[in-house]
């Protein structure tokens, strides 16, 4: 018997809150830094308003959570779903549903770690690169780090796991929402691969620190992945 509250499975993508490097526009990949106090407040506000019983992201409907191993992502996960969040109306996620994985870690920026976009472009120009077109991470990747193809491959691996979880539940047979807690760049890359687009496909996206986005499927069809451009909130508790 299906759960009356089950719906077409969704993928919630949660970006970690502000860090000092993110605030300054510095590329932050493997550098393991924590949230700023403002970053903690960003995620806490999101948790209070959107996470909890009969809220947008109801832990009761979540079958799996994948979290980046970086401190800033783990800290965000704990604020969203950890024991300390219960006072704000959210609920914990069973530990057996949670996986730390490098597949959703931030892009490995290699030689560009800690730099800003203008600094990267200037360094490349000084070396005689990008004479015809400016550097574009989605196409060119990062020297000493990951190429766009390497990022695409690991995201495809994760998407395959998600589809395995959600495929049997497309008509509400069981709750099969999943959540990803990670980073701004990799989550935008994830959206492109979820839709089947190569990473170099132009698709301008914004995902603020502490924000939550939603992906799902059209027509309850596993072969029609989509993203939500608008949503209706659950009814308030009586």
- Residue holding tokens 């779903």? 81
- Distance, CA of 70 to CA of 67 (rounded, Å): 8
The answer to whether the annotation marks 72 as part of a ligand binding site is yes
Q: Is 106 annotated as a binding residue?
A: yes
> What does residue 102 show for φ and ψ, rounded to 5 degrees?
-70, -15
Residue that the structure tokens 């780090």 belong to: 145
Was 28 annotated as part of a binding site? yes
Q: How far is CA 226 from CA 3, 13, 116, 166, 177, in A?
A: 23, 13, 32, 14, 14
Q: Which residues are catalytic, by number?
A: 16, 106
CB 74 within 8 A of CB 106: no
Q: Which two tokens stand for residue 200?
A: 């170099």
230 carries a ligand binding annotation: no
Query: Any known ligand binding at 39?
Result: no
- Which residue is listed with tokens 């990747």? 141
**CA distances (Å), 56 to each of 125, 139, 167, 202, in order?**
46, 35, 22, 29
Residue 194 known to bind ligand:
no
Binding-site residue positions for substrate: 28-29, 72, 106-109
Binding-site residue positions: 28-29, 72, 106-109
């Amino acid at each position: 018997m299906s759960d009356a509250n089950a719906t077409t499975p969704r993928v919630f993508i949660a970006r970690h809150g502000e860090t000092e490097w993110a605030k300054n526009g510095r590329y932050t990949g493997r550098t393991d830094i924590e949230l700023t106090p403002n970053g903690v407040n960003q995620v806490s506000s999101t948790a209070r308003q959107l996470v909890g019983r009969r809220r947008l992201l109801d832990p009761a409907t979540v079958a799996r959570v994948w979290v980046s191993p970086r401190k800033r992502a783990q800290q965000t996960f704990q604020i969203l779903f950890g024991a300390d969040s219960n006072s704000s109306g959210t609920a914990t996620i069973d530990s057996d549903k949670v996986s730390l994985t490098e597949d959703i870690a931030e892009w490995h920026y290699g030689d560009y770690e800690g730099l800003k976009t203008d600094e990267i472009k200037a360094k490349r120009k000084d070396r005689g690169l990008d004479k015809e077109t400016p550097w574009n991470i989605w196409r060119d990747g990062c020297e000493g780090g990951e190429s766009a193809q390497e990022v695409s491959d690991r995201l495809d691996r994760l998407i395959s796991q998600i589809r395995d979880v959600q495929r049997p539940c497309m008509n509400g047979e069981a709750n099969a929402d999943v959540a990803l807690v990670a980073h701004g760049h990799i989550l935008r890359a994830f959206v492109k691969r979820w839709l089947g687009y190569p990473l170099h496909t132009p698709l301008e996206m914004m995902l603020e620190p502490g924000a939550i986005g939603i992906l799902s499927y059209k027509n309850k069809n596993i072969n029609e992945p989509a993203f939500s451009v608008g949503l209706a909130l659950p009814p308030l508790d009586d």
